[in-house]
Structure 1
């Protein structure tokens, strides 16, 4: 079967699963459709591009299953005109999807191998509003101005209040938080003044955030 047909069938099956889970945001689904996920997974695992399974990538990292990736992006609630910061580039897939909706995306990862590969994928799609950078994102990106949304896919052990100054008023951050019982919960933190309003969303399989850029890879 031709790759284009496999892509369409994989996306169609994903949409059916997402709708049954209550996700039907047409702008988000269109952005996912316009971002061929098979271009972001390792070639040997292309058949898993639209599955709900976790996909291993370089540097010991992984891509969330397609269902979870879109569920996370739905929780982020990106709108046209938004400036978005993503901590944890990985394959670059979520940054590319966000870039279909937002005005500008800055995505950072501690591994050079991942950022170089993600930049190449984004460039191949002709996306100029997605900036990929190797950086230590454990404290956000001070000096880059403020963002309407911050999206993090590595977990904090305490509420990351230092991000508040990097969000616009009314902006929100979606990030994993490890609780006292070791459960990793995705939370949405909405900035009100200098404080966060917290909303617990759902459990996720993310690992604790590691500070500093990787010395190798």
Structure 2
């Protein structure tokens, strides 16, 4: 089976699972997921599953990437904060759908590798930082959209504070000792409202910048 055929099958699967936004499907179709994986996992690039990357992290399942992106309700005016750059795959999907993406990664190795991929793909509207995702990016706040790609026990206060009025945040939250739920948070003049979306499994959101040997 050729890579192009696997990609077509993935797009069809996403459609069948309810992803109908053509902009998102086109972004996924145009983005070479194999570029974000190590050589041994590249043959599985268009399987609809999460896969391991460096530093004990993962690249999310394409359906989860598409679902989270869809629920952000992006437009070309949106200023987006991403917590957890990882391989950069989610960032690459967000890039053509919004005005600018600001992405934070705690692992310098992952941030460097992701930056090289962004450059190779010509993603000129992505700005990176190595930092603590719990703190967000206060100098650039507020953000129209915030997407968190690691599971937290609760919404970090700084991220809630940095979400603009009328903004949307998508974040995985611990819902039990061994369970997580994807939650959509919206801000209005009265505060934050929570909406449960989907059971998920993400790596934990850890405070601080990682120490790497």
Would the TM-score normalized by the shorter structure come out above 0.5? yes
C-alpha displacement at 1:163, in angstroms?
Answer: 2.0
- Asked if the contact 2:82/2:147 (under 8 Å) is kept, the reply is yes
Counterpart among 117, 124, 129 of residue 128 in structure 1: 124
2:66 to 22, 47, 70: 70
1:168 to 137, 156, 164: 164
Match of 1:45 in 2: 41
Distance in 1 (CA, whole Å) between partners of 2:43 and 2:193 is 40
Are the equivalent residues in 1 in contact too, given 2:99–2:125 (CA < 8 A)? yes
What is aligned with 2:185? Answer: 189
**Secondary structure at the residue paired with 1:179?**
strand
Provide the TM-score with structure 2 as the length reference: 0.94
In structure 2, the partner of 1:201 is 197
Bigger mean CA offset, 82-91 vs 185-194: 185-194
Instruction: Indicate the residue corresponding to 1:102 in structure 2.
Output: 98
Q: How many residues align?
A: 213
CA contact (8 A) 1:164 1:195 kept: no
Q: Deviations over 1:148-189 (max 9, x none)?
A: 110001111123343232122110100011124542000000
CA contact (8 A) 1:108 1:133 kept: yes
- Residue 32 of structure 2 corresponds to 36
Tell me the residue number matched to 1:216: 212
Q: Does 1:58 align with 2:50?
A: no
Q: Structure 2: 5+ residue runs without aligned partners?
A: none
SS at match of 1:155: coil
Structure 1 SS opposite 2:144: strand
Which residue number corresponds to residue 15 of structure 1?
A: 11
**Distance in structure 2 (CA, Å) of the matches to 1:85 and 1:38:** 24
Task: Note if contact 1:51-1:67 (Cα within 8 Å) is conserved in structure 2.
Answer: no
